[in-house]
């Protein structure tokens, strides 16, 4: 028997870039995270050809999930065409031989920074969120081991206290992104800085969400059909950003999450934050046969109330 | 038996049945604790009756704070048992509780005021928030109610409620102690533990805080355990007194008895030094 028959042919790198032991580590951690919704699971974070803080956590999870039949969409704050998003997407194409897409409906994996697409994700899709800071208790408890005990005891009084004091000082909740939310009635997460608008999309969703922080080496998950409840007082309802009457100046679509573009005359223009969602609307208006998926919000109101 | 001596004029302002005729609300037996070579507590028994103020005096290092930390379940002794009579709780040694059970018991049934406000308060949160946190831990989720109950609790501690949203850093020492007190009584605890609550305050401020404590005690009949090395404080507040020295109880009895007719040489020395 020759050595060549026993070994695989030489290759420049593994399929999906990561070596098998790194993938096994990540698969195990992901399974654990899914088994305990919202619980932060530490993992051995590999070096990847990208600086920490640029989405290495999300990158490693996506690389682990990748298979040749995958269709991958990568967005940064809702946009597919930012430098970071396009280079990550191209990287997946090169190391995984996967199909790259900008269409939410066609993707099997959506890796995202700070947004969840407007079109509803399905059971067969996975959302991977890049997370800078996975620990909701960090602002109130800098000591990690004490914070772990606090999670163990579901000791979240101080997170409530932060919300209480925002109401006292400003008369309203000032928490814009990273809104503390209770997953499956047990663990509080501050989902990677997605806006308040996106938090209800996680509740009882059809899709799996994996949130991964490469620098902090921790990941957690919101499995499909899992309760995600923002922390709210009985008498102060949860409010999402008030974008129901904002119209995108490019696509003419109203009632979705928008970016504000200050104009020279002091006024503001608005454009859809989910850029490909806007492009689809423009194409459709121009008569192209474009399929636009069902959306979580309609006219700025969450219609899919599954709670 | 002193425990049944209801004829004593020690507390004429209160109804006698609350005092010592009732079953004890707190029982500690054989508490000992060593830190390395230092024996901080050498087998201490404590009995506290509902509605009374138990004063604990003793020199520095006699183990008073250590004992109080045990009562607050912050620490576990080397030996000994601890029982609180609470509605719906079975008879079990509280030192067997795990961290979570201890936290819940503490949140619902024990209030504590520390000498150092930094130990008892979140200094960068508002005063009302410090009180509200207690209620939040106990599961209250109504903002208007949280605010109202924090206000009531602060008012009961004679804290100027128009300043309820100032942080403790902006307040005087006396005010900080009132915030601690408001926090401690917010959930009507079964027992209120006070570790030198007035030490470090001006004499006049100290008198005002003690007045507040007395008023609370009279109006709400809160059971208190008050630790102090100041006999004057103990004299004004306590119904019963426990004298500690080097981790042991050298004498205990009704306050009047201790002050008028101390039996133990060490107590005699203390009482005479104070006069
Ligand atoms: N965490 C600890 N580690 C080591 N020694 C300790 C610890 N806590 C207390 N001790 C020791 O135990 C003894 C009793 O201390 P404790 O603080 O209970 O005294 P105290 O009566 O409250 O004194 P003070 O009047 O000064 O507050 C002291 O000798 C102290 O040094
Ligand atoms: Mg002490």
pLDDT at A121 over 90: yes
Q: pTM of the full predicted structure?
A: 0.88
Mean per-residue pLDDT for B91-100?
92
Mean per-residue pLDDT for A160-165?
96
Mean per-residue pLDDT for B109-121?
94
**Assigned CATH for A20-227:** 3.40.50.11310
pLDDT at residue number A306: 61
Q: Which long-range contacts (CB under 8 A, 24 or more apart) does A89-95 make?
A: A91/A17, A91/A49, A91/A59, A92/A62, A92/A63, A92/A66, A95/A13, A95/A15, A95/A16, A95/A17, A95/A63, A95/A66
Report how far residue B198's alpha carbon sits from residue B267's, in angstroms, rounded to the nearest whole number: 22
Of B100, B103, B132, the CB nearest to A161: B132
Q: Which residue has the tokens 């609550």?
A: B197
| Residues of chain A contacting B167 with CB distance shorter than 8 Å | none
- Whether residue B66 has its Cβ less than 6 Å from ligand 1: yes
Q: How many interchain CB pairs under 8 A, A with B?
A: 49
Contact B133 A160 (CB under 8 A): yes
Of A149, A155, A164, the CB nearest to B143: A164
Contact B125 A167 (CB under 8 A): no
Identify which has the larger pLDDT, B24 or B22: B24
Mean per-residue pLDDT for A206-215?
96
pLDDT at residue number A51: 87
pLDDT at residue number B17: 39
Mean per-residue pLDDT for B118-141?
94
What distance in angstroms lies between residue A267's CA and the mean position of ligand 2's atoms?
Answer: 63
pLDDT at residue number A305: 62
Mean per-residue pLDDT for A27-31?
98
Percent over 70 (pLDDT), chain A: 99
Report how far residue A56's alpha carbon sits from residue B75's, in angstroms, rounded to the nearest whole number: 43
A110-114, A136-140, B28-32, B256-260: which has the minimum mean pLDDT? B256-260
Q: Does B97 touch chain A if contact means CB atoms closer than 8 Å?
A: no
Report how far residue A61's alpha carbon sits from residue A78's, in angstroms, rounded to the nearest whole number: 19
Q: If DSSP codes are grouped into helix, strand and coil, which group holds residue A45?
A: coil
Structural contact between residues B113 and B209, judged by C-beta atoms closer than 8 angstroms: no
Q: If DSSP codes are grouped into helix, strand and coil, which group holds residue A79?
A: strand
pLDDT at B16 over 70: no
pLDDT at residue number B275: 59
Contact B141 A153 (CB under 8 A): no
Contact A161 B143 (CB under 8 A): no
Quote the minimal CA–CA distance from A192 to chain B in Å: 25
Contact A153 B100 (CB under 8 A): yes
pLDDT at residue number B5: 39
What distance in angstroms lies between residue B132's CA and the mean position of ligand 1's atoms?
Answer: 31
Give the confidence band of A245 by pLDDT, cuts at 50, 70, 90: very high
- Whether residue B267 has its Cβ less than 6 Å from ligand 1: no
pLDDT at B1 over 60: no
Structural contact between residues B75 and B96, judged by C-beta atoms closer than 8 angstroms: no
Distance between terminal CA atoms of chain A? 62
pLDDT at residue number B15: 42
Residue B152, phi then psi, degrees to nearest 5 = -60, -45
pLDDT at B196 over 90: yes
Percentage helix, strand, coil for chain A under 3-state DSSP, each rounded to 5: 30, 20, 50
- What does pLDDT average to over chain A? 93
Quote the minimal CA–CA distance from A157 to chain B in Å: 5
Domain ranges of chain A: 20-227
CA torsion angle A218 A219 A220 A222 (round to 10)? 160
Give the confidence band of B133 by pLDDT, cuts at 50, 70, 90: very high
Structural contact between residues B72 and B66, judged by C-beta atoms closer than 8 angstroms: no
pLDDT at A132 over 90: yes
Q: If you write DSSP's letter for every residue of A202-255 in order, what string do you get? A: GTT-SSEEEEEETTTTEEEEE-TT--EEE---TTS-------TT-B-TTT--BS
Angle, helix B127-137 to helix A157-170, in steps of 10 degrees: 140
Structural contact between residues B112 and A162, judged by C-beta atoms closer than 8 angstroms: no
pLDDT at residue number A175: 86
Q: Does B99 touch chain A if contact means CB atoms closer than 8 Å?
A: yes
pLDDT at B20 over 60: no
Q: Does A142 touch chain B if contact means CB atoms closer than 8 Å?
A: no
pLDDT at A13 over 80: no
Q: If DSSP codes are grouped into helix, strand and coil, which group holds residue A72?
A: strand
Q: Does B168 touch chain A if contact means CB atoms closer than 8 Å?
A: no
Closest Cα in chain A to B132:
A161
Report how far residue A109's alpha carbon sits from residue A112's, in angstroms, rounded to the nearest whole number: 10
Give the confidence band of B4 by pLDDT, cuts at 50, 70, 90: very low
Q: Does B129 touch chain A if contact means CB atoms closer than 8 Å?
A: yes
Tokens of B86: 């609470």
| Residues of chain A contacting B103 with CB distance shorter than 8 Å | 153, 155
Contact B146 A164 (CB under 8 A): yes
Q: Does A165 touch chain B if contact means CB atoms closer than 8 Å?
A: yes
* SS3 assignment for chain B: CHHHCCCCCCCCCCCHHHCCCCCCCEEEEEEEEEECCEEEEEEEEEEECCCCEEEEEECCCCCHHHHHHHHCCCCCCCEEEEEECCCCCCCCCHHHCCHHHHHHHHHHHEEEECCCHHHHCCCCCCHHHHHHHHHHHCCCCCHHHHHHHHHHHHHHCCCCHHHCCCCHHHCCHHHHHHHHHHHHHCCCCCEEEEECCCCCCCHHHHHHHHHHHHHHHHHHCCEEEEECCCHHHHHHHCCEEEEEECCEEEEEEEHHHHHHCCCCHHHHHHHHHHC
| Residues of chain A contacting B99 with CB distance shorter than 8 Å | 149, 152-153
Report how far residue A119's alpha carbon sits from residue A304's, in angstroms, rounded to the nearest whole number: 12
Choose from A150, A167, A233 for mutation: most chain B CBs within 10 A. A233
Q: What residues contact A203, with CB distance under 8 A and at least 6 apart?
A: A226, A227, A228, A229, A306, A307
Give the confidence band of A127 by pLDDT, cuts at 50, 70, 90: very high
Mean per-residue pLDDT for B226-243?
93
pLDDT at B12 over 60: no
Tokens of B83: 């029982």
Choose from B73, B97, B125 for mutation: most chain A CBs within 10 A. B125
Report how far residue B233's alpha carbon sits from residue B200's, in angstroms, rounded to the nearest whole number: 13
Quote the minimal CA–CA distance from B211 to chain A in Å: 30
Nearest to A129 by CA among A50, A222, A67: A222
Most confident of A298-302, B7-11, B87-91: A298-302
Mean per-residue pLDDT for B11-40?
76
Q: Which residue has the tokens 């620490």?
A: B75
Contact B133 A157 (CB under 8 A): yes
pLDDT digits (tens, 9 = 90+) for A50-108: 888 889 999 999 999 999 999 999 999 999 999 999 999 999 999 999 999 999 999 99
pLDDT at residue number B165: 95
Quote the minimal CA–CA distance from B54 to chain A in Å: 31
Percent over 70 (pLDDT), chain B: 92
């Amino acid at each position: 028997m020759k050595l060549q028959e026993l070994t695989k042919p030489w290759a420049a790198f593994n399929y999906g870039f990561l070596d098998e032991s790194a993938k096994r580590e990540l698969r195990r951690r992901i399974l654990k995270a899914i088994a305990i919704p919202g619980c932060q699971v530490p993992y051995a974070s590999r070096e990847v050809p990208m600086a920490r803080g640029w989405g290495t956590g999300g990158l490693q999870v996506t690389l682990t999930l990748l298979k040749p039949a995958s269709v991958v969409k990568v967005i940064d704050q809702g946009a597919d065409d930012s430098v970071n998003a396009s280079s990550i997407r191209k990287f997946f194409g090169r190391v995984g031989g996967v199909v790259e897409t900008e269409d939410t409906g066609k993707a099997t994996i959506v890796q995202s920074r700070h947004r969840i697409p407007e079109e509803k994700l399905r059971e067969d899709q996975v959302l991977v969120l890049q997370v800078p800071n996975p620990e909701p208790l960090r602002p109130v408890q800098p000591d990690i081991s004490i914070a772990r005990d606090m999670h163990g005891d579901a000791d979240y009084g101080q997170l409530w206290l932060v919300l209480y004091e925002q109401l006292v000082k400003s008369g309203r909740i000032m928490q814009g992104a990273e809104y503390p939310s209770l997953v499956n009635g047990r663990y509080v997460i501050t989902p990677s800085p997605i806006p308040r608008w996106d938090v209800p999309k996680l509740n009882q969703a059809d899709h799996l969400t994996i949130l991964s922080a490469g620098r902090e080496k921790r990941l957690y998950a919101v499995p499909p059909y899992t309760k995600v409840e923002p922390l709210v007082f009985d008498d102060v309802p949860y409010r999402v950003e008030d974008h129901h009457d904002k119209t995108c100046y490019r696509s003419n679509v109203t009632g979705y999450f928008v970016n504000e573009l200050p104009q020279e005359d002091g006024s503001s223009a608005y454009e859809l934050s989910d850029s490909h969602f806007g492009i689809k609307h423009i194409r459709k208006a121009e008569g192209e046969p474009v399929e636009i998926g069902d959306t979580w919000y309609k006219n700025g109101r969450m219609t899919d109330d599954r709670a | 038996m002193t425990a049944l001596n209801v004829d004593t004029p020690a507390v004429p302002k209160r109804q006698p049945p609350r005092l010592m005729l009732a079953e004890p609300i707190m029982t500690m037996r054989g508490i000992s604790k060593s830190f390395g070579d230092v024996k901080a507590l050498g087998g201490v028994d404590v009995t506290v009756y509902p509605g009374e103020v138990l004063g604990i005096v003793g020199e520095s290092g006699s183990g008073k704070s250590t004992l109080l930390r045990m009562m607050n379940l912050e620490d576990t002794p080397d030996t000994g048992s601890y029982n609180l009579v609470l509605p719906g709780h079975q008879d079990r040694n509280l030192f067997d509780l795990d961290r979570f059970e201890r936290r819940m018991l503490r949140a619902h049934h024990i209030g504590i005021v520390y000498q150092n406000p930094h130990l008892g308060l979140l200094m960068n949160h508002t005063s009302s928030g410090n009180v509200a946190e207690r209620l939040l831990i106990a599961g209250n989720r109504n903002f208007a109610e949280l605010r109202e109950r924090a206000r009531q609790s602060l008012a009961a501690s004679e804290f100027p409620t128009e300043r309820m949203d100032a942080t403790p850093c902006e307040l005087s020492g006396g005010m900080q102690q009132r915030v601690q007190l408001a926090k401690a009584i917010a959930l009507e605890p079964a027992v209120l533990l006070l570790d030198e609550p007035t030490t470090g305050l001006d004499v006049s401020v100290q008198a005002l805080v003690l007045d507040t404590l007395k008023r609370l005690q009279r109006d709400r009949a809160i059971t208190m355990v008050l630790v102090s090395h100041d006999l004057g404080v103990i004299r004004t507040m306590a119904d019963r007194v426990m004298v500690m020295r080097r981790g042991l109880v050298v004498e205990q009895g009704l306050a009047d008895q201790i002050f008028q007719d101390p039996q133990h040489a060490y107590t005699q020395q203390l009482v005479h030094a104070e006069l």
